[in-house]
Amino acid sequence: MFISFEGGSYLFSKSHRPGLDTLQQIPEIEKPVAKEGAGFERNMFIPSNHVYTGKDNNVIISLPDAAKRKYSIKFFEPDGTFLFELKKIPESYLMLDKANFIHAGLFVFEIYDNRIIIERHKFYIPKDGKPMPPLDINGYPIK
């Protein structure tokens, strides 16, 4: 294998003969079973398809046919305190800087189409430099 680095330096790896394909011999993993015989369920948070955090922890808004609809979104703290509203969203894909939310943590949003609520859900913004923690079914970090 040939590996090239910035500045023009490079190296070659040692040559090797192909070996056995070990992928054919991987045993199947058994699913855990609850004490009462029911299937094991993962109670994990499922984010919205319309408002969620991206890889850089900014808030992504993805609304179909936004140019033809009258979408608006209200954002709240988990205790119901109103933060701000976006009226008449003109584009199907928007990115809001996480700084608009003042702090990291859980937030609630409501999406309206022509003043009729079509979704109420939550999203989580992690602290700077931290990965997204595992969230329980209500959107709170699992400790």
Report CA-CA distances (Å) from 62 to 15, 77, 81. Answer: 48, 21, 24
Query: Is pLDDT of 40 > 50?
Result: no
Distance CA 127, CA 14 (A): 43
Q: What is the mean pLDDT of the chain?
A: 81
pLDDT tens sequence across 47-83: 888 999 988 889 999 998 888 889 999 999 999 999 9
Report if residue 102 sits inside a domain: yes
Residues spanned by the domain of 107: 51-125
Report if residue 23 sits inside a domain: no
Count the domains in the chain. 1
107 membership: H or E segment, kind and range: strand 105-113
Q: Is 131 in contact with 53 (CB distance < 8 Å)? A: no
Q: For the domain that residue 76 is a member of, what is the CATH number? A: 2.60.40
Distance CA 57, CA 97 (A): 8
Token pair in block for residue 74:
């209200």
Report if residue 57 sits inside a domain: yes
What are the residues facing 27 on neighbouring strands? none
Give the pTM. 0.66
